A and B are shown apart, each in its own frame.
Chain A
Amino acid sequence: MTGVKKTGFPKRSHPNRARSFLVWLVLFLFVGLLVLDILVDRIPETTIIKVNDPAFWDLKEVYTQRLSEVRSKGGQSVLMLGSSKTQFGFRGETVEAAMGGDSTGNPLAFGFGLPGMGPLYQWTCAKRLEKMGLLPDIVLLEVHGALFVNDPGNGQGISRQLGWLPRDRVLAKEWMDYRSFGVSTIPQGGMGPEWYEDRFALLSPLRILVQSMDSGPKKPRGAIDRWGGPRLPTDTDTEDPRVKTLYNLDKTREEYAEMVGKPHRGSGSPLEPKDVAGPGWVALKRTIEFLRKNGCRVILVRMPEGPAFRSWYAPNLAQVEAKKFRSFLLPEAKDWIDAREWFEEDKFWDSNHLNPKGAQIFSERLAREILWVANDDK
């Protein structure tokens, strides 16, 4: 204690100080989280989306501008809502031209493709667009068979469906919707952070530092063309390493093999549609109903897959899916475009994402199909 007096340190009882430290730590932790929660609630939702989901916001900005131009001329608008398959496969300019578009960009064909967009996130995006008054005349909804197959036998179904959900970009309020789709817990191993997700989703706006550093989507901001597609550093179908790196394509085949092909390897049989159910189905059905209620024509598009990718499914999956999709679309059950087997491997980067040549042909054919579906009503 003499030393303590000499250096002028306050006389303390160390165990008491340690106890006091722990108590204050817990208290400040609790108060800190509470304060952050209150602050976050005061931030407008659009600001939260802007910060927390910059990829969505960037696309929305371009789309808003294009849509306002077309609306001012009374033109028609087509929006394709999907994942990176849409991002790479849907060429808006080609669809516009094939639909008889003029030089002023009427009709508008816009690809709203965001990596990792499964049916749950499609629902979220549709709701956000509706709130912002940005719903188009026709919505093409990308559907992906693997996301709807629920195989409870090996417990992969739900986690596969939720695997296609960029969890860290979804707001806490939006999570509440998912609970009504049957999502009770957040599975491990999907996209986004782990255990603090639930609690700290509320703190999303404060992750501004991280979001601007995060290379997650591998898409530098501003690299979107007027139709929502990526500005690729190449216009050829060669395996350009720059594209593969920027968009993480060199890992996707491996990831999908893990996600889709696991039952194939594990059980020795392809992915079986034993139980086509789960949150994915519910979300898709609700999205269709929601969009129709808001005056949109909904067309489901089963995106192209290469032979390697297709081999992971049981042969009868396509029929089961088609039947189910059509039942969703009633009474307009024909609003269903199955492009799954349109192409061979040479039109893909990785058996899953279309390369520029594949995207060009796909978009031309898709436009013809849209016209056929739309004209069939008359």
Chain B
Amino acid sequence: MQFTSLDFALFFAVVFTAHWLLPRGDGRTCWLLGASILFYASWSIPLAFLVCATGLLNFVVGLCLDRLGKTSRQVDELKSPHPTDGPNPVARQILLITSITGNLGLLCYFKYANFFLDSLKSVLVAQGVSSQIPVLDILVPFGISFYTFEVISYTIDVYHRRIRAERNPVRFLLFILFFPHLIAGPIVRAGDFLPQVDRIGRLSLMRVGLGVRLFILGMFKKLAISDNMALFSDPVFDHPDLYRGSALGLGLLAFAIRIWADFSGYSDMAIGCAHLLGYRLTKNFNFPYLALNISDFWRRWHISLSTWFRDYLFLPLGGSRGPFITTVRNLMVTMSLAGLWHGAHWSYVLWGVVHGLMLVLHRGFSILVRGYPRMVWALDTIPGKFARWAITLLLIVLSWSLFQPDLTRSITLLQRLFTWAPGEVLPMTRFYLWVTVGLVMVGHLCASRRWMNRIWKRTPAPLGGLVFALLLICALVLAPSRNRVFIYFQF
């Protein structure tokens, strides 16, 4: 059930109506949970059971962690910097480790088993050992990477007593299974989501208006921008050996726009749906292609994932507090795992490594530049900022070549791009690609400015209605004949 399908429109209309007709309290929570399970079961009933079962298991683990700490009543006052304080520190640690290992184990089994087996097979073959390692026939649960990270963050937060364990299984399962964020995020934190369950009051027209606007904007990004850009990028990514250097460059540029429009469009639609139901989800994108450096990019791109990695991996590893070499190690470990999170292929790992290296280089450069005030000044001028933006964007676009499940094709693409190899041209008219690039960049520049918000607030309601009605019509009219699923559904 894609967000852009009629099935979803009907499903959401029923959920929305019943949700606001029901009295406040558990009835609404149960209704939303039931709808979320149905939403997931529309893909696979057994996997819906699996997600519910693992969710309940994590719910029990949270309760046990709380009980073993025996300090749940004093959570707010305690604020202990030593989470192992309490009567059962070892038992709590064991429980935490078991829970994290179990969740990651499930993720590894479903998502990475064949990847590891394939890699093992390749190593054995390279060593001259013949092997009969089978390929497992595993159906990967949708959104497993997202909800696994959500339950891990919950368990760690309970362990560290940042939040109390949830006592109501329905509320807890709703946190995991809430359908707007279930399949492809944003990755929500229990501390942000669970308090909202009690606060759902009356239907707010302002929130409905905001939700509708976000949903339409997301739909436009997906159907009018992303799906059309796929027409340019798909042939190039499928057969990089056939196309000439210039076509590969354009395909890569189209992919950069496509992946932004696809994922940020999905996030907008998810956040919009949540608003319509009275919930607020984490912001996931903040005009990433306006980033002035790679660190800035990661503060703007897939924010819920990057902050998750920062809070639960990078900082516990030591962050950037120690010597430079420790920071390098921490960055490389974090980004490699972030790459692996995206897909069970070496190309994704390499993508993460490349981003890790870019972050390291940026950090080194920042340290180096501090000793040269004139350089700092020059980099802060308009030409300096433009140069930083252009270099960052170029590197990000180039790195997208690795964002596909085939390392050989990525290497071929880059090789042919840099050697400006001869070959076929793109069979489509480039004019529309450039129009889209221009529109996206202008849209980024305008929408990121504060005055844009002020203008919107001053815009008369009829004009606002007209703009969004046109956006929706354009999305439906411009959608190409072949619908494509959201890219991040595969993760």
A220 in the interface, Cβ–Cβ < 8 Å?
A: yes
Say yes or no: A193 contacts B481, CB within 8 Å.
Answer: yes
Q: Which of B231, B427, B461, B479 contacts A17 (CB 8 A)?
A: B461
Choose the segment among B187-195, B262-270, B466-474 that binds chain A (4+ C-beta atoms closer than 8 Å).
B466-474
A242 to B244 alpha-carbon distance, docked (Å): 13
Choose the segment among A148-156, A194-202, A293-301 that binds chain B (4+ C-beta atoms closer than 8 Å).
A194-202
A216 in the interface, Cβ–Cβ < 8 Å?
A: yes
Q: Chain B residue with minimal CB distance to A28? A: B469
A256 in the interface, Cβ–Cβ < 8 Å?
A: no
Q: Which of A24, A32, A192, A245 contacts B239 (CB 8 A)?
A: A245
> With A25-B212, A25-B468, A32-B470 in contact, do A194 and B483 touch (Cβ < 8 Å)?
yes
User: A216 — which chain B residues lie within 8 A by C-beta?
Assistant: 480-482
User: A206 — which chain B residues lie within 8 A by C-beta?
Assistant: 477
Min Cβ gap A57→B in Å is 16
Say yes or no: A24 contacts B464, CB within 8 Å.
Answer: yes
Binding site secondary structure of chain B:
helix
Residues in B176-221 with C-beta less than 8 Å from chain A = 204-206, 208-210, 212
Say yes or no: B205 contacts A33, CB within 8 Å.
Answer: no
User: B465 — which chain A residues lie within 8 A by C-beta?
Assistant: 20-28
What count of chain A residues pass the 8 Å CB interface test?
Answer: 46
Residues in A132-178 with C-beta less than 8 Å from chain B = 166, 168
Min Cβ gap A142→B in Å is 22
A94 to B476 alpha-carbon distance, docked (Å): 45
Say yes or no: A203 contacts B231, CB within 8 Å.
Answer: no
Contact with A along B1-42 (1 / 0, CB 8 A): 000111101000000000000000000000000000000000
User: A213 — which chain B residues lie within 8 A by C-beta?
Assistant: 228, 231-232, 428-429, 432, 480
Min Cβ gap B406→A in Å is 14
> With A195-B6, A209-B432 in contact, do A19 and B205 touch (Cβ < 8 Å)?
yes
Q: Which of A9, A18, A21, A27 contacts B458 (CB 8 A)?
A: A9
User: A317 — which chain B residues lie within 8 A by C-beta?
Assistant: none
Residues in B87-145 with C-beta less than 8 Å from chain A = none
Question: Which among B228, B232, B427, B454 has the greatest number of chain A C-beta atoms within 10 A?
Answer: B427
User: A17 — which chain B residues lie within 8 A by C-beta?
Assistant: 209, 461
Contact with B along A97-116 (1 / 0, CB 8 A): 00000000000000000000
A38 to B464 alpha-carbon distance, docked (Å): 24
A210 to B6 alpha-carbon distance, docked (Å): 21
Q: Which range contains the number of B residues in contact with the other chain?
A: 35 or more
Q: Chain A residue with minimal CB distance to B242? A: A245
> With A24-B465, A220-B427 in contact, do A193 and B206 touch (Cβ < 8 Å)?
no
Contact with B along A208-232 (1 / 0, CB 8 A): 0110111110101000000000000
Contact with B along A312-328 (1 / 0, CB 8 A): 00000000000000000
A259 in the interface, Cβ–Cβ < 8 Å?
A: no
A207 in the interface, Cβ–Cβ < 8 Å?
A: yes
Q: Which of B232, B461, B464, B479 contacts A210 (CB 8 A)?
A: B479
User: B479 — which chain A residues lie within 8 A by C-beta?
Assistant: 193, 196, 210
Say yes or no: A20 contacts B461, CB within 8 Å.
Answer: yes
Say yes or no: B209 contacts A21, CB within 8 Å.
Answer: yes
Q: Chain A residue with minimal CB distance to B427? A: A220
A36 to B458 alpha-carbon distance, docked (Å): 29
Say yes or no: A215 contacts B457, CB within 8 Å.
Answer: no
Min Cβ gap B173→A in Å is 30
Min Cβ gap A299→B in Å is 32
Say yes or no: B205 contacts A214, CB within 8 Å.
Answer: no
A166 to B427 alpha-carbon distance, docked (Å): 20
Q: Which of A22, A24, A168, A210 contacts B205 (CB 8 A)?
A: A22
Say yes or no: A210 contacts B228, CB within 8 Å.
Answer: yes
B376 in the interface, Cβ–Cβ < 8 Å?
A: no
A21 to B465 alpha-carbon distance, docked (Å): 5
Residues in A1-55 with C-beta less than 8 Å from chain B = 7, 9-10, 14-15, 17-29, 32-33, 36
Q: Chain A residue with minimal CB distance to B433? A: A213
Residues in B347-405 with C-beta less than 8 Å from chain A = none
> With A18-B206, A215-B427 in contact, do A24 and B481 touch (Cβ < 8 Å)?
no
Say yes or no: B205 contacts A15, CB within 8 Å.
Answer: yes
Min Cβ gap B121→A in Å is 24
Q: Which of B429, B464, B466, B472 contacts A212 (CB 8 A)?
A: B429
Residues in B327-342 with C-beta less than 8 Å from chain A = none
Q: Which of B232, B234, B428, B477 contacts A203 (CB 8 A)?
A: B477
Residues in A256-270 with C-beta less than 8 Å from chain B = none
A24 to B460 alpha-carbon distance, docked (Å): 10
> With A9-B458, A10-B458, A191-B481 in contact, do A28 and B470 touch (Cβ < 8 Å)?
yes
User: A209 — which chain B residues lie within 8 A by C-beta?
Assistant: 432, 478
A182 in the interface, Cβ–Cβ < 8 Å?
A: no
Min Cβ gap A165→B in Å is 12
User: A25 — which chain B residues lie within 8 A by C-beta?
Assistant: 212, 464-465, 468-469
Min Cβ gap A211→B in Å is 8
Contact with A along B232-272 (1 / 0, CB 8 A): 10110011011000000000000000000000000000000
A28 to B468 alpha-carbon distance, docked (Å): 9
Min Cβ gap B272→A in Å is 13
Min Cβ gap B30→A in Å is 28
Say yes or no: A193 contacts B483, CB within 8 Å.
Answer: yes
Say yes or no: B478 contacts A207, CB within 8 Å.
Answer: yes
User: B481 — which chain A residues lie within 8 A by C-beta?
Assistant: 166, 168, 191-193, 210, 214, 216
Say yes or no: B231 contacts A241, CB within 8 Å.
Answer: no
Say yes or no: A32 contacts B209, CB within 8 Å.
Answer: no
Residues of B participating in the A interface, judged by any CB pair closer than 8 Å: 4-7, 9, 204-206, 208-210, 212, 228, 231-232, 234-235, 238-239, 241-242, 424, 427-429, 432, 454, 457-458, 461-462, 464-466, 468-470, 472-473, 476-483
For this complex, 7 residue pairs linking A to B, each with C-beta atoms less than 8 Å apart, are A17-B461, A21-B465, A23-B465, A24-B466, A28-B462, A206-B477, A210-B228
Residues of A participating in the B interface, judged by any CB pair closer than 8 Å: 7, 9-10, 14-15, 17-29, 32-33, 36, 166, 168, 191-196, 200, 203, 206-207, 209-210, 212-216, 218, 220, 241-242, 245-246
User: Can you add 8 more A-B contacts, CB < 8 Å, to A22-B208, A32-B469?
Assistant: A18-B206, A19-B209, A24-B461, A25-B468, A191-B482, A210-B479, A213-B428, A214-B428
Give the 6 A-B residue pairs with the shortest CB-CB distance, closest first.
A24-B465, A195-B6, A28-B469, A20-B461, A18-B209, A25-B465
